[in-house]
A and B are shown apart, each in its own frame.
Chain A
Amino acid sequence: MSRPELQAPPEIYYGDTEAKKYTANTRIQQIQADMTYRALELLNLPPDEPKFLLDIGAGSGLSGEILDDEGHIWVGVDIAPSMLEVALERDVQGDLFLQDIGQGFGFRPGSFDGAVSISVIQWLLNAETSHPTSSPPHRLTRFFTTLYAALRNPSRAVLQFYPTSDDQIQLITSIAQKAGFGGGVVVDYPNSKKARKVFLCLYVGGGGGQQVPKGLEGDVADENAVKFEKRRERERRREKSGKRKNVKAKDWILKKKELYRQRGKEDVPRDSKYTGRKRRTVF
């Protein structure tokens, strides 16, 4: 299937059913959690200090819960009402706003100690109407300039997103730089098709001496992934075919005994109600 951002605008794509599905899916939960932890790592906040963070595209609060766990206070914005409804049902701690990030934020300058965004800004790359304010560059500019203003100096914003092409990365980083941000793109597991993750790691201030952190390399730590088990499938197939019967079944035993008697074998145990029963464990 084609990518979700090509199918419908986010507030429509994440309708009631999709929002519930998205939040209930344990695989998505796991991926979101991993990416949120990685984003927090890239944010490089001082340890054990509660900070005031902005979660862009907070959705149902999957990432916000992790911010809670880490002891931060956060504000979430999202454009999909259904997702926010799920967040309300889940009783998340942060303040939630129904807001289109492409229209810009109204926060006072220097409000936040950092910002995270998980799988969101690719949604800004589609024009919904032909109005000039709906063009991707305009929306991105508006988003990055107001985000830059809302962040404290020095601080960081880490935005994970799914680009379809290098041109998109180029467009997004150039607009972010024009808005005043330093930093760049961090790619985790660049050689893996599945685990590859792109993080836009942006700095506000900091004297320009900050290096963009390195992406993770090597093989993916795969211990949490579900391994493909052929055994299960094989067993299921055998059960379905129904050819093989259970060896210890009572009628099988009776049949064998009958056969032995016909052949004249001595000492064949007589049949009783106990035939084919399991012994008690204490025996």
Chain B
Amino acid sequence: MVRLITHNLLACHVKGCTTNNFPLVFQDAQVEIHEAEFNEDFIRGFMPKIEWKALVDSARQLGDTSLPEEQPEMADDDFLKTLHHVLLEMHIEEGAMVCQNCGHVYPISNGIPNMLLAEHEIG
């Protein structure tokens, strides 16, 4: 269950891969929608942490265009609901995440990404 909320926090952690290592790009992603309970306080509290551009780009890549290009100043209820949907209800079940910088592939199977590194990649 990779949700975009965690994807938005995830950078490549291969040794020496420090620039341009965020966000990881999805490859052959299969998306499933699982409904989750809407929690306004949480979304509001989480908003400042979001890298907006990365979130919008990833969401568009997965075929969801409901988010605006720029993060709006004022957050009304409708906007929070869309944000909730994108952050917490879109699950990537299969596919892979690729680092744009070093090209490391993190395969996702059964909704669990494999973040293990080979010996020479450990920092």
Q: Which residues of A contact B (CB under 8 A)?
A: 49-52, 71, 73, 75, 77, 79, 81, 84-85, 88, 93-100, 103-108, 110-111, 129, 131, 133-134, 142, 146
A sample of 20 more A-B contacts (CB under 8 A), given A106-B11, A108-B9, A134-B119, is: A51-B45, A52-B5, A52-B42, A73-B5, A81-B112, A95-B2, A99-B116, A100-B115, A103-B116, A103-B117, A104-B123, A105-B13, A106-B12, A106-B115, A107-B10, A108-B10, A108-B22, A110-B49, A111-B9, A146-B13
CB distance from A135 to the nearest CB of B (A): 11
Q: Which residues of B contact A (CB under 8 A)?
A: 1-3, 5-6, 8-13, 21-22, 36, 39, 41-42, 45-46, 49, 51, 88, 110-117, 119, 122-123
CB distance from A92 to the nearest CB of B (A): 9
* A50-B45, A110-B49, A131-B119 as given contacts; A98 in contact with B114, CB under 8 Å: yes
- Shortest 5 CB-CB contacts between residues of A and residues of B: A106-B13, A99-B115, A50-B42, A111-B9, A133-B122
Jot down 19 A-B pairs with beta carbons below 8 A, ordered by A.
A50-B41, A52-B49, A75-B6, A94-B1, A95-B6, A96-B112, A97-B115, A98-B112, A99-B116, A100-B117, A103-B116, A103-B123, A104-B13, A107-B9, A107-B10, A107-B11, A131-B119, A133-B119, A134-B119
Q: Bound complex: CA of A98 vs CA of B117, how far in Å? A: 11
| Chain B binding surface, main DSSP class | loop
Contact B116 A106 (CB under 8 A): no
* A106-B12, A111-B9 as given contacts; A50 in contact with B1, CB under 8 Å: no
Which residues from chain B contact A75 at a C-beta distance below 8 Å? Answer: 6
Contact A88 B113 (CB under 8 A): no
Which residues from chain A contact B21 at a C-beta distance below 8 Å? Answer: 106
Which residues from chain B contact A71 at a C-beta distance below 8 Å? Answer: 39
Q: Bound complex: CA of A108 vs CA of B11, how far in Å? A: 6
Q: Bound complex: CA of A105 vs CA of B11, how far in Å? A: 9
Which residues from chain A contact B6 at a C-beta distance below 8 Å? Answer: 75, 95
CB closest chain-A residue, reference B109: A98
Which residues from chain A contact B9 at a C-beta distance below 8 Å? Answer: 107-108, 111
Which residues from chain B contact A84 at a C-beta distance below 8 Å? Answer: 112
Which residues from chain B contact A52 at a C-beta distance below 8 Å? Answer: 5, 42, 46, 49
Contact B10 A106 (CB under 8 A): yes
Contact B113 A98 (CB under 8 A): yes
Q: Bound complex: CA of A192 vs CA of B3, how far in Å? A: 43
Contact B111 A96 (CB under 8 A): yes
CB closest chain-B residue, reference A72: B42
Q: Bound complex: CA of A134 vs CA of B120, how far in Å? A: 11
CB closest chain-B residue, reference A129: B119
Contact B123 A108 (CB under 8 A): no
* A73-B5, A106-B10, A107-B9 as given contacts; A100 in contact with B42, CB under 8 Å: no
Q: Bound complex: CA of A129 vs CA of B9, how far in Å? A: 31
Which residues from chain A contact B114 at a C-beta distance below 8 Å? Answer: 98
Which residues from chain A contact B22 at a C-beta distance below 8 Å? Answer: 108
Contact B45 A49 (CB under 8 A): yes
Q: Bound complex: CA of A146 vs CA of B115, how far in Å? A: 14
Which residues from chain A contact B8 at a C-beta distance below 8 Å? Answer: 108
Contact A142 B46 (CB under 8 A): no
